[in-house]
A = this chain, B = another copy of it.
Amino acid sequence: MDVGKKTGGKSITIYDIAKEAGVSPATVSRVLTNSARVRPEKKQKIQELIEKYNFTPNAMARGLSDTHSRVIGIIAADVRNPFYSEVFVACELAARRLGYTVLLCNSLGEAGLERQQLEKLQEQRVDAVIQLGGRVDDLVSQLEYVELVNAMPERIPMVINGKLDGTQCYQVQINARKSMDLLIEHLIGLGHRDIALIGGRADVLSTFEKIQRYKQLLKQNQIPFRPELVQEAGHYNDAGAYAEMNRMLDAGIVPTAVIAINDFSAAGIARSLTEHGYRIPEDISLVSYDNTYIAEMLIPKLTSIDYDYGNLGRKLVETAIGALEGKEIPKLQMLEPTLVVRESSGPARAL
């Protein structure tokens, strides 16, 4: 019956169109790119044929002469994390509006993978690379990453959402200090003084900065710093934070408010608090970072730091494309976070 056989046949080309239309390939190309005027009758004829054969120009061939692909590569740590998927979708939207496509790779925190992805993107001749999280953020492996970046052809602009010294990377950062300011201000305003900070890894830059700022702010508010209230979890998932919160409570250390390093961690922390019989926010307040949909999903809904993903994605893409087009763009751009107050934070329990 010969069903499903590769109906083979090379795909059709502008030569085929040209021949049937009785013109030269160049003319077809002109119609395709709208790069020069073509006599209306021919133009029409050609367009009909394109329609008829469902012809699509070969991006490979195009890219070969164009020198650029109109594709932006994005390396994300893991799109399963809503933070990254939000940013990714925002990037995709912004890119599309500017006529670009995005190509996504997940580095999954694997050592070799990031390098491999970068090479792959280079092969694909992406016009720019946006790096979302991963080793860039890691204070330990940053040096290694710097090397990677510096080995990239200078013609490919790289944009990261973070901080990285020693390279020509464009950096679109979110003001980590400011975000901690917002949370602490909010909590202190509610009368909290025993504020825990849980989750994440201190060797990730943004987390490190938050911890630093946390200490500073306590001092500014004449609150003694209690190291036992700050627990990194080694991870950014709920299980890690859950374990840390348990450990803290079981040790008899009971804060009146907890800052979770992200929404995932908040989920773990909420579980631990609940299991220990504490109500949120009546007994203990809980606030977090990232304001992903998780924040709205938990009970109670989380008070959380918002980054405006749409804006972040746009900035990343515009920076990449701007650089690409030779525009003068600041190497460092800082975005300001905001605080979204929901149900999980309330007045400190009376002493």
Contacts and interface: CB of A to CB of B under 8 A. Distances in A.
A253 interface: no
A252 interface: no
B88 A54 contact: no
A175 interface: no
Interface in A253-279: 264, 267-268, 270-271, 274
Contacts of A78: 89
Per assembly, the copies of the chain total 2
B125 A54 contact: no
Given A80-B89, A85-B85, A296-B238, A64 B56 contact: no
Given A58-B125, A298-B298, A85 B89 contact: no
Contact of A326 (B6, B151, B326): B6
A333 interface: no
Given A80-B82, A86-B80, A271-B299, A59 B6 contact: no
How extensive is the interface on chain A, given as a class? 35 or more
A281 to B, nearest CB: 15
Interface in A59-74: 59-64, 67, 69
Contacts of A296: 238
Contact of A155 (B9, B88, B299): B9
Interface in A1-33: 4, 6-11
Contacts of A64: 58, 60-61, 64
A179 to B, nearest CB: 22
Contacts of A58: 64, 123, 125
Contacts of A85: 79-80, 85
B63 A89 contact: no
Most chain-B Cβ atoms within 10 A of its Cβ — which of A67, A120, A299? A299
A97 to B, nearest CB: 12
A188 interface: no
Contact of A59 (B4, B105, B124, B267): B124
A340 interface: no
Interface string A151-165: 101110000000000
A137 interface: no
A133 B69 CA distance: 28
Interface of A: 4, 6-11, 54, 56-64, 67, 69, 78-80, 82, 85-86, 88-89, 92, 101-106, 108, 119-120, 122-125, 151, 153-155, 168, 238, 264, 267-268, 270-271, 274, 293-294, 296-299, 323, 326, 328, 331
22 contacts: A4-B323, A4-B328, A4-B331, A6-B155, A58-B64, A59-B60, A59-B123, A64-B64, A78-B89, A79-B89, A80-B86, A80-B89, A85-B85, A101-B103, A103-B103, A103-B104, A264-B297, A267-B297, A267-B298, A270-B299, A271-B299, A294-B297
Given A274-B299, A297-B297, A298-B299, 17 more contacts: A4-B168, A4-B328, A6-B154, A6-B326, A9-B154, A56-B122, A59-B123, A59-B124, A59-B125, A60-B60, A60-B64, A60-B69, A79-B79, A79-B88, A80-B82, A267-B297, A271-B299
